[in-house]
Structure 1
Amino acid sequence: MAKISASSLLLILLFVSAAASRTKIYSINNEDVHATDGICKTMVEKQGYACQEHLVTTQDGYILSMQRIPKGQSGEVPDKPPVLLQHGLLMDGITWMLNPPDQSLAFILADNGFDVWLANTRGTRYSRGHTTLSPNKSAYWDWSWDQLVAYDLSATFQYVSDQTGQKLHYVGHSLGTLIALAAFSQEKLVNMLRSAALLSPIAYLNQMSSLLARTAVDIFLAEDLYWLGVYEFDPRGEAVAKLLEAICNKPGIDCTDLMTSFTGQNCCLNSSNSDVFLEHEPQSTATKNMIHIAQMVRNGNIAMFDYDDKDKNMEHYGQPTPPAYNMTNIPNDLPLFLSYGGKDMLSDVNDVQVLLDSLKDHDGDKLVVQFREDYAHADFVMAVNAKQAVYDPLMAFFKLQ
């Protein structure tokens, strides 16, 4: 990724935000999102792959966009099970296609005979529909990753299972690993699952070494926005840009290379892909979701959203503190592939070790752990050598399940 100064990034974000406000057309039910503007048209079909657009409605009314790449470039019918790809925080399904086809996991899986499905969580560009709520209203953004666990993930799992009649493999990156681990700890979805691959796994965040991210948490970045009435956390928006500028002006914070400051020193990104990245990412999430993640950093645990009020917690959970997601409850016979990096400043090696300690009783033949000393957070989805380093071992693992 090319280095971008903080001031330049702020200008880019403000410019894109202004342009987006003129061009994005969203209705309450997604009908006005032009089909020609979807991920199939903009990212998949241009590379010579067949693609289908799907809409999935969650139990709480959010209308999610999904894409299916039903076969590889050869056109041969897939001979392997479906794979659901779940992106991370502030990203969408395009995460898996930012590199050329021979370096992008979505296309690599399709070319290897898998039936590929892309998820896009609520609030991202193509998943802003709802049966009754508009994204212009605060109520639309009243959710955190608890709801991604309870509703989005279950809806996409069920949809793929229903459409294919098969159990599926799952691949998550970053936040996509957190919501999966949380669901598995409640023994949800495992009846529809063959195996799960967790890239740059996020469970515990207490030892996260990104100074920029920790500073954002320490100065209550998300809470400030929430108190200001900014319920949508839009990285391209003016409010977030101003707060980012304030953070970058703090002593000891180096924002000259913003991605490295957040993620760690990625070893193997193609700097020419920065234009592709900025054209499509980053994406919006709920400010409440950012607050929930900040709580994880401060508290060092994996628990449901804390309303910071005993009465409100009692109202939502029937107890004064939020219930925890217990990682030791993940079924010991669930096939898991975990890959993490030594340079990752978000999925810190010490936090990953805490997760691995909680899986110490996992069946030995059902847990594969891969460590890449040179990889940081973005390498797992954008490294030019990720096919050889991560994706080939991942596919080999899938074929055994």
Structure 2
Amino acid sequence: MAMKTVTSLTLLLLLFAVLAAGRGTKISRELESSNDEDGICQLIVKTKGYSCEEHKVTTKDGFILSMQRIPTGRSGTKGGPKPPVLLQHGLISDASTWLALSPDESLGFILADNGFDVWLGNVRGTNYSSGHTSLGPNDPEYWDWSWDELVAYDLPAMFDYVHTQTGQKLHYVGHSLGTLMAFGAFSRHEVLSMVRSAALLSPIAYMGQMPSPLARAAADIFTAEVIYWLGVKEFAPGGGPVSKLVADICSHIDCSNFENVITGPNCCMNSSTPSLSHQQPTATKNMIHLAQMIRKGTIAMYDYGSDGDNNKHYGQATPPDYNITSIPNDLPLFLSYGGKDLLSDVKDVQTLIGVLSDHDPNKLVVQYRDDYAHLDFVYAVNAKQLVYSPLMAFFSSN
């Protein structure tokens, strides 16, 4: 039983270490050791010849989030007001997701060069959004959140800040967990007054048909729940005992291709060696919430495990659903998904599309890339031509 628990925990760590995350580049290692004055702007953006601003926004529950702004392209031409766009990364990652490749291949730089006012968000718990008005990462209460709080607090705080700074409604781009945050917020009519349109890459709403055997095994064995009950509130794949577990499993499995086993066979990323040893931390409670979605096939708020505890938090015995059908039918949505994606599975995305069947067909664009897997949407060397150009055309039409 103990060996089964350790093995399944390792599988879970490996699964979510690559879910919508970066590939452990030298840049991300530098980011971990840098401070706010020497951060993403200084290490990545300005070195590529772009202007960049560091911003801070505080959520209503006290988390201090880091944001970066790229106001102009490489030409530096300011011109008139530019349409703002907020880019939101996925799980166990940060804003460097959108900047990891060359300026001609990274969506953050591409948008800046094509006349957008680019804003990059970093959710709570990541290295650059680790501040809080009264708590620290060593306090268990600091990690008492799931993606429910990202929907209720982080995303609204970032939207409101950019809207206030620019005086304009925002375009939005999310990848993986960044899409789940959007679906949750839109379904509860959060931020709708501030959004122009949303592009959702590898959309995550329903996860019940996820075909990855490793993902299903890790969720079904309740491994995240086990470590939560043992008092491990911070889920940090890149250090401590977690790092040792990853190293142990990689001594028996060829981890050089392990991301493809989990995310699907990504067709079009460059050949640089991936690494699963360095990622951003998240809350163990967040991992439990995602595992609940895999097991149940629903999109609902966090399940506290008993009628009594759910009643205490929600006033009802079961967690409230996020009602996707309540998303306004005239909200412009661009969905792009891949045929080889094992996390944003084709069947689950088709379930989502079915739920959106009453959406105004003139406001819903669905793109299907048969050869793309989960990470291709942010790291493929041909994504500019195949995904980002249609995405920008969609923004321009809205």
Alignment TM-score > 0.5, same fold: yes
| CA displacement 1:313-349 (0-9 Å, x = unmatched) | 0010000100000111110000000000000000000
* Partner residue, 1:212: 214
Contact 2:256/2:273, CA 8 A, preserved across alignment: no
Letter in 2 for 1:173: H
* Partner residue, 2:76: 75
Q: CA deviation at 1:230?
A: 1.2
Mapped to 2, the partners of 1:323 and 1:141 lie a distance apart of 22
Q: CA deviation at 1:273?
A: 6.7
* Partner residue, 2:56: 55
SS in 2 for 1:113: coil
Single out whichever of 222-231 and 259-268 deviates more from structure 2.
Answer: 222-231
Mapped to 2, the partners of 1:91 and 1:305 lie a distance apart of 21
* Partner residue, 2:258: 258
Q: CA deviation at 1:363?
A: 0.3
Mapped to 1, the partners of 2:96 and 2:32 lie a distance apart of 17
Alignment of 1:2-401 (within 5 A): 34-77=35-78, 80-241=82-243, 244=246, 255=255, 257-272=257-272, 274=274, 282-401=279-398
Mapped to 2, the partners of 1:98 and 1:339 lie a distance apart of 20
Mapped to 1, the partners of 2:130 and 2:68 lie a distance apart of 15
SS in 2 for 1:147: helix
* Partner residue, 1:29: none
* Partner residue, 1:30: none
Contact 1:78/1:114, CA 8 A, preserved across alignment: no
Q: Percent identity?
A: 64
Mapped to 1, the partners of 2:154 and 2:36 lie a distance apart of 22
Where do 5+ consecutive residues of structure 2 fail to align?
1-9, 18-23
Distance 1:145 1:291, change over 3 A: same
Mapped to 2, the partners of 1:50 and 1:244 lie a distance apart of 38
| CA displacement 1:60-103 (0-9 Å, x = unmatched) | 00000000000000001165300000000111000001110000
Q: CA deviation at 1:34?
A: 2.7
SS in 2 for 1:102: coil
Letter in 2 for 1:389: L
Contact 1:225/1:239, CA 8 A, preserved across alignment: no
Where do 5+ consecutive residues of structure 1 fail to align?
1-5, 26-32
Mapped to 2, the partners of 1:35 and 1:295 lie a distance apart of 35
| CA displacement 1:275-325 (0-9 Å, x = unmatched) | xx779x521100000000000000100000000011110010000100000
What is the RMSD of the two structures over their aligned residues, measured on CA atoms?
A: 2.5
Contact 2:36/2:128, CA 8 A, preserved across alignment: no
* TM-score, L = length of structure 1: 0.88
| CA displacement 1:333-379 (0-9 Å, x = unmatched) | 00000000000000000000000000000001000000000000000
Q: CA deviation at 1:393?
A: 0.2
| CA displacement 1:172-203 (0-9 Å, x = unmatched) | 00000001011111121111010000000000
Distance 1:320 1:55, change over 3 A: same
| CA displacement 1:111-170 (0-9 Å, x = unmatched) | 000000000000001000000000011100000000000000000000000000000100
Contact 1:141/1:288, CA 8 A, preserved across alignment: yes
* Partner residue, 1:3: none
Mapped to 2, the partners of 1:61 and 1:396 lie a distance apart of 37
Contact 1:195/1:336, CA 8 A, preserved across alignment: yes
Mapped to 1, the partners of 2:394 and 2:147 lie a distance apart of 28
Mapped to 1, the partners of 2:194 and 2:387 lie a distance apart of 24
Contact 1:99/1:273, CA 8 A, preserved across alignment: no
Contact 2:172/2:197, CA 8 A, preserved across alignment: yes
Letter in 2 for 1:65: S
* TM-score, L = length of structure 2: 0.89
Contact 2:175/2:201, CA 8 A, preserved across alignment: yes
Q: CA deviation at 1:245?
A: 6.5
Contact 1:98/1:273, CA 8 A, preserved across alignment: no
Contact 1:342/1:349, CA 8 A, preserved across alignment: yes
